[in-house]
């Protein structure tokens, strides 16, 4: 499936939504919906913007990008929108003209929820992009881990994560770094001026082509102490249970029950309560955060990022569900790994890099 075929496939999905909701058109304004529908043309200028620099009007038989003279030349030249079957509608930046359609649906409310559900299952071409971005995300956070040295501040380590993602065409929308004692106290550790001495956690959520891929790595100066290795094996076993349990036909609630049982088996029964455990990923770091009893169904071609943790350690990669199994898209095989078993299946998880 090439980009044009991907856009045509998604147009057919929105055509069915228009018929279902009695709409003449759907106006996509949310950035994650625009990049999804255009097969990777990311409209985000301000990284924290909910809406993009351009929107898309979709009717049963046509699709148009609505923008201003600031964005139009770049979109035409670099995104090759005409080749994807889009026309361009330009209005002044100081006086934007919204589309005029009698029965216009927007990508919020019930229609927005329906689009989000479509967005969560990736086409074959999206899966290819996820594999590439996953590999690059793993490489970026591991590059930053290898570069860490005693005396670095958490700010400096976080800056290396961001730079490594940017050098590969991505944007680190989340960078968390905790050094030494902060790994025990904070599971969402904003980087600070705290100085790294022996042990650090590096976390990234990297966005490219709209897809957000997550990974966590740890680094230690010298031999890793046995008490930290024990924690690593615990979270790796819990993570493996989640990964193996993420199968089509099951629900997020089913996997969450596996996670709870795995925490209990590791002697850490209550630790799941102190941080979310991750869930369904894609065009957001978490499209759906799993909760007990969550009825969300799992299908082939979806991204998941589970992140079980106990004080001082966490395990996180992004996986792609496949028929009959899974693929860890952020695993590079150039970082140390340990192997754990869940439901009789061996799963490789990141070890702690000793520098």
Domain positions in the chain = 3-119, 124-354
Q: How many whole angstroms separate alpha carbon 221 and alpha carbon 150?
A: 8
Instruction: Please compute the mean of the pLDDT values over residues 296-309 and round it to a whole number.
Output: 98
Question: Do β-strands 278-281 and 337-342 pair in parallel, antiparallel, or remain unpaired?
Answer: unpaired
The rounded distance, in Å, linking the Cα atoms of 60 and 110 is 19
Share of the chain above pLDDT 70, in %: 100
Q: How confident is the model at residue 108 (pLDDT cuts 50, 70, 90)?
A: very high
CA atoms in the 13 A half-sphere facing the CB of 30: 17
The model's confidence at residue 177, banded by pLDDT at 50, 70 and 90, is very high
Per-residue pLDDT at 331 exceeds 90: yes
SS3 341: strand
What pLDDT score does 316 carry? 98
How far apart are the C-alpha atoms of 59 and 195, rounded to whole Å? Answer: 55
pLDDT range class, residue 31, cuts 50, 70, 90: very high
Instruction: Give pLDDT, residue 49.
Output: 85
8 A C-beta contact, residue 199 and residue 220:
yes
Residue 333 has pLDDT above 90, yes or no: no
What is the per-residue pLDDT for 118? 97
pTM, two decimal places:
0.96
Distance CA(281)–CA(301), nearest Å, equals: 11
- pLDDT value of residue 251: 98
Distances (CA, A) of 345 to 75, 237, 326, 340: 47, 11, 12, 8
**pLDDT (tens digit per residue) in 227-260:** 999 999 999 999 999 999 999 999 999 999 999 9
How do residues 219-236 score in pLDDT, each as one tens digit?
999 999 999 999 999 999
pLDDT of residue 97: 85
Lowest mean pLDDT among 17-31, 37-51, 304-318: 37-51
Question: Is 98 a residue whose pLDDT tops 90?
Answer: no
Q: Who's near 50: CB < 8 A, 6+ residues apart?
A: 30, 31
Percentage of the chain exceeding pLDDT 90? 94
pLDDT surpassing 90 at residue 322:
yes
Q: CA-to-CA distance for 352 and 341, rounded, in angstroms?
A: 18
Could you read off the pLDDT of 54-94 as tens digits, one per residue? Answer: 999 999 999 999 999 999 999 989 988 999 999 999 999 99
The CA distance from 81 to 90, in Å, is 14
The mean pLDDT of 4-32, rounded to a whole number, is: 97
* pLDDT of 324: 83
Give the pLDDT score at 54.
94
3-class SS shares of the chain: helix, strand, coil, % to 5: 35, 30, 35
Using 50, 70 and 90 to split pLDDT, how confident is the model at 48? confident
Specify the pLDDT at position 80. 86
Residue 101 above 90 pLDDT? no
**Distance, CA of 343 to CA of 334 (rounded, Å):** 26
Nearest C-alpha neighbor of 280 from the set 250, 309, 315, 310: 250
Q: Does the structural domain 124-354 have CATH classification 3.90.230.10?
A: yes
pLDDT tens, position by position, 262-285: 999 999 999 999 999 999 999 999
CATH architecture of 3-119: 3-Layer(aba) Sandwich (3.40)
Q: What is residue 172's predicted lDDT score, i.e. its pLDDT?
A: 98
Mean pLDDT across the chain, nearest whole number? 96
CB atoms < 10 A from the CB of 5, how many?
A: 13
For 179-222, the pLDDT digits (tens) are 999 999 999 999 999 999 999 999 999 999 999 999 999 999 99
Lowest mean pLDDT among 46-50, 228-232, 253-257, 308-312: 46-50
């Amino acid at each position: 499936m090439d980009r044009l075929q991907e856009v045509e496939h998604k147009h057919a999905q929105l055509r069915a939504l228009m018929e279902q909701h009695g709409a003449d058109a759907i106006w996509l304004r949310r950035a994650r919906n625009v990049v999804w529908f255009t097969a990777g043309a990311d409209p985000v200028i301000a990284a924290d913007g909910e809406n993009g620099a351009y929107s898309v009007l979709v009717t049963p038989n046509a699709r148009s990008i609505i923008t201003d003279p600031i964005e139009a030349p770049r979109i035409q030249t670099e995104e090759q929108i005409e080749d994807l079957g889009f026309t361009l509608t330009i209005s002044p930046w100081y006086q934007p003209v919204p589309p005029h359609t009698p029965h216009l649906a927007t990508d919020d409310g019930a229609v927005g929820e329906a689009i989000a559900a479509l967005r969560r299952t990736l086409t074959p071409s999206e899966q290819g992009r996820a594999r590439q971005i996953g590999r690059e995300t793993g490489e970026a956070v591991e590059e930053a881990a290898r570069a860490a040295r005693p005396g670095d501040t958490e700010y400096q380590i976080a800056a290396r994560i961001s730079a490594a993602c940017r050098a590969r065409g991505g944007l680190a929308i989340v960078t968390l770094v905790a050094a030494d004692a902060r790994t025990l106290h904070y599971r969402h550790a904003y980087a600070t001026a705290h100085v790294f001495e022996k042990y650090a956690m590096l976390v990234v959520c990297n966005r490219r082509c709209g897809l957000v891929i997550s990974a966590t790595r740890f680094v230690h100066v010298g031999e890793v102490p046995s008490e930290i290795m024990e924690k690593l094996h615990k979270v790796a076993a819990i993570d493996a249970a989640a990964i193996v349990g993420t199968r089509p036909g099951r629900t997020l609630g089913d996997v969450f029950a596996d996670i709870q049982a795995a925490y209990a088996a590791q002697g850490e029964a209550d630790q799941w309560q102190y941080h979310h455990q991750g869930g369904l990923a894609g065009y957001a770091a978490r499209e759906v955060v799993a909760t007990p009893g969550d009825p969300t169904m799992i299908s082939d071609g979806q991204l998941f990022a589970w992140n079980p943790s106990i004080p001082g350690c966490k395990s996180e990669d992004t996986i792609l569900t496949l028929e009959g199994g899974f693929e860890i898209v952020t695993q590079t095989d150039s970082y140390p790994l340990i192997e754990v078993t869940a439901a009789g299946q061996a799963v490789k998880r990141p070890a702690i890099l000793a520098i």
